[in-house]
Amino acid sequence: MVATKADELIFSMPGSPAAIGVARVLAGARIRKWDYSAVLDDALLIVSELVTNAAEVTPGEKIVLQVGRDGQGIFFAVWDSSARMPEPRPVAELGLDDLDLSEESFDDNGGWGLALVQALSTSCGVTRDPNGGKWVWARCAMGRPGA
């Protein structure tokens, strides 16, 4: 379901790997409509990470993406029904020696998404929803349109 509230995009979908691509396409279209290409790459990575985390903790269950803007910037929020709060890994400088690049473990080097969100956003956090679950959110400064 896609809904708009004034200039916002609110989209619900089942938590799955496909949700990540759908979220990127919808968020990207909205950001392009606003002509804020300067933050597009960072914004899409933030959306990807937030949706990935929600889909992983609530597979097959409803998740909600909200994309909006105000005087402080563009904001992204993802709701999921899990009470489990996100736990970012401590930020560390990684090199290739820190990763297990063996064929069996190649895709198991994740878990750095929240650190990426923290690095790319001007602010981020998590808010418990009084009706259950939580909203994990991030904000990007917009700069000038078309910049």
Residue 2 pLDDT exceeds 90: no
Residue 102 pLDDT exceeds 90: no
pTM for the predicted model, two decimal places: 0.81
- Model pLDDT for residues 57-90, shown as the tens digit of each residue: 999 999 999 999 988 889 999 999 999 988 766 6
Residue with more model confidence, 113 or 143: 113
Measured CA distances, 21 to 30, 38, 70, 104 (Å): 14, 20, 25, 25
- Model pLDDT for residues 5-38, shown as the tens digit of each residue: 568 999 999 999 999 999 999 999 999 999 988 8
Residue 99 pLDDT exceeds 90: no
Provide the percentage of residues in the chain whose pLDDT is more than 70: 76
* C-alpha–C-alpha distance, residues 139 and 72, integer Å: 8
